[in-house]
Amino acid sequence: MIIDLRSDTVTKPTKDMLDAMTQAKVGDDVFREDPTVNKLEERVAKMFGKSNALFFPSGTMANQTALKLHTSPGDQVICDKYAHIYNYESGGVSFNSGVSCRLIDGHRGMFEAAQVLEAINPDAYYYSQTSMVEIENTTNKGGGACWDLNEIKKIRAICDENKLGFHLDGARIWNALVAKNETTGQYGEVFDTISVCLSKGLGCPIGSILVGDAEIMKHAIRIRKIFGGNMRQVGYLAAAGLYALDHHIERLAEDHKKTKEIGECLTRLSIIKKVEPIETNIVIFELNTDVDENTFVKKLAEQDIHIISMGSNKLRMVTHLDYTNTMHDKLLSVLQAIII
């Protein structure tokens, strides 16, 4: 039994998901003739109260498309120093859109409306033009933290006053919705564009979706094509998404319960300096300075438990659909007995 807690992207489709996939009606999506893709896009657009949605092969491509839709070369994007678009998208912000990031020194990947106001460049020709604000919910590098919707609304007001686009990287928005008992509609109301992932907590093999209203989404499909993201009989994958929306959202609460139990267990270990607050399916914890992180990771790997390092003696565990109760019991007992 291999326990893989490196990411919630390691899941494999369940048998029922695979059945839904093989039974999908498909067509050529470049001609917009794949009924299952069309159904998924319509459904997700409606969930967020937007007119348009577009299926993407990755969350990175959906975010990169959103950046392109909101900016012109030379512009500046306001985001947190932990942002996925800044840290983990291979410099695509500058490569694809020719824009720079104005980083906010936030807390666990989140910041306040007042910090956005400070980060907006004055309207003078020698400044880069601030054209959008981007936030992430839940925050990845911030340990699965959930934003306060009221703070988001304050940022929306600042975006309106300053004519800035507002994009949500909602790769794990489903986790936030379940943890905070919020709705997709509440998020659709405040953002211009939202990217969501089907391939993380929802357990699909592939897929992300970008939603927005017709005006901002007008060129989304052209940009996706430029990025090489046009696909053909991709309804097989969209079917996995439709299945996941029906069956895999509410169960995220189980993942959240398990991370909290892991956190309680870690807190009791003397080799651990700090466990970051746990809100969803991510646990980030820091080892004491005299404990080598590689030794810790190796010790767990010897027991077939796999986790990853976040740098600076911090480690991460992520729970997901394929992390079973049996695995959970084993992990807790291995942790309790760990000697370094």
Shortest CB 35 distance to ligand PLP, Å: 24
Interface with ligand PLP in residues 155-174 (CB under 6 A): 169, 171
Counting residues that bind ligand PLP (by CB under 6 A) gives 12
Burial class (CB in 10 A: 0-12, 13-18, 19+), 338: middle
Shortest CB 60 distance to ligand PLP, Å: 3
Closest listed residue to residue 187, CA positions, set 169, 206, 160, 163 = 169
Among 44, 133, 168, 197, binds ligand PLP (CB under 6 A): 197
Choose between 188 and 201: whose C-beta lies nearer to ligand PLP: 201
Tell me how crowded residue 94 is: count the other CB atoms within 10 A of its CB. Answer: 11
Upper half-sphere CA count for residue 114 (Cβ side, 13 Å): 0
Among 52, 76, 131, 140, binds ligand PLP (CB under 6 A): 140
Burial class (CB in 10 A: 0-12, 13-18, 19+), 230: middle
Could you identify the residue written with the tokens 């895999």? 248
Which run of H or of E encompasses 104? strand 100-104
Among 36, 52, 60, 281, binds ligand PLP (CB under 6 A): 60
Among 84, 108, 258, 316, binds ligand PLP (CB under 6 A): 84
Choose between 84 and 316: whose C-beta lies nearer to ligand PLP: 84
Tell me how crowded residue 35 is: count the other CB atoms within 10 A of its CB. Answer: 14
Residue 80 makes contact with ligand PLP by CB under 6 A:
no
Length of the chain in terms of residues written: 340
Could you give the CA distance from residue 247 to residue 198 in angstroms, rounded to a whole number?
12
Shortest CB 33 distance to ligand PLP, Å: 25
Interface with ligand PLP in residues 251-270 (CB under 6 A): none
Q: Which residues bind ligand PLP (CB under 6 A)?
A: 58-60, 63, 84, 136, 140, 169, 171, 197, 199, 208
